[in-house]
Amino acid sequence: MILTIFLKELKDTLRDRRTIMMMVVIPILIFPLILNVFIGISSSFEKDAANKTITIGVIGEKNGFISNTLSKTPEQLGKCKIKFYADSASLIKDLQIDSIQMGIYSSKTFEASLIEKKPTPIICYFNGTDIGIKSRAEKYISYIEEKALNKRFKELKLEPSKVKPIVPLYVNIASDKEMLGKIAGGILPYIFIAFGFIGCMYPAIDLFTGEKERGTIETLLTTPISRLQILFGKMGVVVLSGLLASSFALIGLFLSIEMMDVIKNEQLLNVVHSIMTIRFILTLFLLLIPLTIFFAGLMIPIAVYAKTFKEAQSIITPLNIVVVLPAMIGFFPGIELNLSTACIPVINVVLSTKELIAGTLNLNYLLISFLVMGFLALISVFISYKQFGKESNILT
């Protein structure tokens, strides 16, 4: 009987355009669309920034070391023009109105200090809101510093290698997979949690509040099936919708990676491919199933209680923020899956997924996370059953 109800509700749900939009179309299209726009805009910005000729304001001598060095900068640092200023106030003013993009101030004693082989400061002005200008300014300053250093080595007749006794080498022992998991792994659980929630939302409201609103629940309750069977049949569809929405969102993300050249680094792309194993997908669903049941169990009592579609929507939508916000914890580095975090719902799923991607998942913590989510799912099903059984709730 549960299967009969499940199949009927599934058919009914799949014929609802609004649910199909939320369950299939939006999840599968959102990432290709967002990434397409994002990559398009950012690559065009990068291109523009690299090709842009910037004007550097210089306070110092016209034939001095700084202006001479800047006029001979190699093309890979980007083209630049020099404009001389007498004081820093007018330079800053021009920087503010973007008539110049960076400024270099050297004191009047700069040239003399160079000759006397003394250290001398130079000040670099830039506008931090101008994206990419800081790194470009650093490149120019490093170039000037390198030229001054080489000049001094020559004058002192020194080999550069002889004044650098230690050559440090930094070795990262974390694998690329681990790095990807810990740094970017937060996005994956966020996606499936957010879409899992949205995927459950419309069918939950449609199958419970909608049934009340349309006046179909009364006839269903006069059939010989129990309310528990009705609840399970309907809940099955709500859970399946959540799982499908999450899965379609993940499919959308992976299609974007495969087809839109999102990851340019081939090594990184290989790491992404190596993550997508059967074991990974199965473990992900092991966490997703109790999570989606928990979501369904949260929404169904509300949907049963609400008298209209609007009322249900107005209660469930803020719940979205409460549930999905903890999923953002995955974006913060340094928060690890341990005994405490494994006991916190939603957060345990996020951190377990991150660890799963990184390949550092502790099976004990995975089990605890699964048990915690399973327990909460059971409680939420029980609450749904209690609410669905209330006479005051099931009929308007």
Q: How far is the CB of 366 from another protein (least distance, A)?
A: 40
Measured from the CB atom, the residue of 107 and 308 that comes closer to another protein is: 308
Q: Determine which residue in the list 129, 161, 267, 392 makes contact with another protein, applying CB under 8 A.
A: 392
Cβ proximity to another protein, 7 vs 112, nearer residue: 7
Cα distances (Å, whole numbers) of residue 318 to 188, 205, 299, 352, 390: 22, 14, 12, 26, 25
Q: Can you give the C-alpha Rg of the chain in angstroms?
A: 31
Q: Is 216 in the site for another protein (CB under 8 A)?
A: yes
Q: Where would I find the H helices in 276-326? A: 278-305, 309-324
| Three-state secondary structure readout of 91-123 | HHHHHHCCCCCEEEEECCCHHHHHHCCCCCCEE
CB of 358 to another protein, least distance (A): 44
At residue 141, the 3 state secondary structure works out as: helix
Tokens of 134: 């800081």
Closest distance of CB 11 from another protein, Å: 7
| Given 218, 276, 322, 340, the residue binding another protein (CB under 8 A) | 218
| Closer to another protein by Cβ: residue 7 or 77 | 7
Q: Is 8 in the site for another protein (CB under 8 A)?
A: yes
CB of 219 to another protein, least distance (A): 6
Q: Categorise residue 87: left if φ over 0, alpha if ψ from -120 to 50, beta otherwise.
A: beta
Stretch that binds another protein, among 8-16, 83-91, 189-197, 285-293 (CB under 8 A): 8-16
User: Which of the stretches 1-9, 114-122, 125-133, 283-291 binds another protein when contact is defined by CB under 8 A?
Assistant: 1-9
β-pair type (80-84, 54-59): parallel
Which of 173, 176, 178 is closest to 354 using CA atoms? 178
Based on the shown chain and the rule CB under 8 A, indicate whether residue 157 belongs to the binding site for another protein: no
16 binding another protein? (CB under 8 A):
yes
CA neighbor of 298 nearest in space, from 243, 379, 365, 218: 379
Give the separation between CA 130 and CA 149, rounded to whole angstroms. 29
Question: In this chain, which stretch among 87-95, 256-264, 362-370, 388-396 interacts with another protein, using CB under 8 A?
Answer: 388-396
- Residue 4 vs 90, nearer CB to another protein: 4
- Under the binding rule (CB under 8 A), the answer on residue 43 touching another protein is no
Among 112-120, 210-218, 282-290, 372-380, which window interacts with another protein (CB under 8 A)? 210-218
Task: Describe the chain by its helix, strand, coil percentages, rounded to 5.
Answer: 70, 5, 25
User: Which amino acid, 123?
Assistant: I
Of 248, 323, 243, 326, which Cα lies nearest the Cα of 285?
Answer: 243
Stretch that binds another protein, among 3-11, 41-49, 86-94, 103-111 (CB under 8 A): 3-11
Nearest by Cα to 196 from 109, 299, 111:
299
Of 225 and 371, CB closest to another protein: 225
> With 0-12 CB in 10 A as exposed, 13-18 as middle and 19+ as buried, what is 295?
buried
12 binds another protein (CB under 8 A): yes
* Residue 1 touching another protein (CB under 8 A): yes
Number of Cβ within 10 Å of residue 50's Cβ equals: 12
312: its two tokens: 């249900």
214 binds another protein (CB under 8 A): yes
391 belongs to the binding site for another protein (CB under 8 A)? yes
**From the CB of residue 374, how many other CB atoms can be counted at a distance below 10 Å?**
16
Number of residues that bind another protein (CB under 8 A): 24
Task: Specify the stretch interacting with another protein by CB under 8 A; choose among 82-90, 94-102, 213-221, 368-376.
Answer: 213-221
Secondary structure (3-state) at 52: coil
Quick note: the x/- pattern for another protein over 219-248, rule CB under 8 A, is xxxxxxxx----------------------
**CB closer to another protein out of 16 and 61:** 16
Which range of residues in 151-159, 188-196, 208-216, 237-245 is near another protein by CB under 8 A? 208-216
Q: Which residues bind another protein (CB under 8 A)?
A: 1, 4-5, 8, 11-12, 15-16, 214-216, 218-226, 391-392, 394-395
